[in-house]
Amino acid sequence: MRVIAGSAKRIQLKTLKGLETRPTTDRIKETLFNMIAPWIGDCFFLDLFAGSGAIGIEALSRGAGEAVFIEKNRAAAEVIRDNLRRTGLEERAALIQADVSPGLRGLAGRKFDYIFMDPPYQGQLEYGTLKLIGELGLLGEDGMIIIEAAVETDFGYLSALGYRIVKEKKYKTNKHIFIEADAELS
């Protein structure tokens, strides 16, 4: 796995051995960032369930102003720290080693342009995480949440939480959904 583009282009990233994390493949990561590239510069980026930190690091490499990573697994957090050092991007990054809920509570009052989350598949963590993001007001006015989930994951509850799907990109076994706050419900 490597950084695809930007200031850290081609730098190899470490990943946690085993099946505890599922790093986003380079091809899927490239597709994702091709969709958001025009708006990534100077943005405030939040990477939840960060794993190796590859998504937030890609955002920083492509010009994001700052990225915050939340990862509860101690070994994975060490991998993120190492990857930030390897890429020279640690000065614009903050790592919170905690479960997502208390990590998000610690960010209350901040606003993010992009929030990316890749929770464990079939763990049904998306609903509670999205609800908490809304309650804490963490999504900026024109912000977007991107969720990587198993292709069969149902997001029929989004409007009840005040969100709407803007775009959905399906792959073989997973998908990215792009959601924003529904202005009509706010």
Residue 110 lies in a domain: yes
Tally of domains in the chain: 1
Q: Are 50 and 20 in contact (CB under 8 A)?
A: no
Q: Are 54 and 82 in contact (CB under 8 A)?
A: no
- Segment 153-171 shows an average pLDDT of 95
Residue 83 lies in a domain: yes
**What is the rounded CA–CA span in Å between residue 77 and residue 89?**
15
Residue 133 lies in a domain: yes
Residue 66 lies in a domain: yes
Residue 106 lies in a domain: yes
Question: For residue 127, what pLDDT is reported?
Answer: 95
Pairing of the two strands 139-150 and 174-181: antiparallel
Residue 21 has pLDDT above 60, yes or no: no
With CA atoms as reference, report the closest residue to 178 among 120, 170, 137.
170
Q: What percent of the chain has pLDDT over 90?
A: 74
Question: For residue 175, what pLDDT is reported?
Answer: 94
Residue 142 lies in a domain: yes
Choice among 16-30, 88-102, 136-150, 167-181 with the minimum mean pLDDT: 16-30
User: With bands split at pLDDT 50, 70 and 90, how would you rate the model's confidence at 73?
Assistant: very high
Residue of higher predicted confidence among 90 and 2: 90
For position 138, which CATH number holds?
Answer: 3.40.50.150
Question: For residue 20, what pLDDT is reported?
Answer: 55
Q: What percent of the chain has pLDDT over 70?
A: 95
The SS3 call for residue 124 is: coil
Residue 21 lies in a domain: no
Residue 80 lies in a domain: yes
71-105 burial, b if ≥16 CB within 10 A, otherwise e? bbbeebbebbbebbebbebbeebebbbeebeebbe
- Segment 61-86 shows an average pLDDT of 96
Structural domain range at position 173: 42-181
Choice among 14-23, 57-66, 148-157 with the minimum mean pLDDT: 14-23
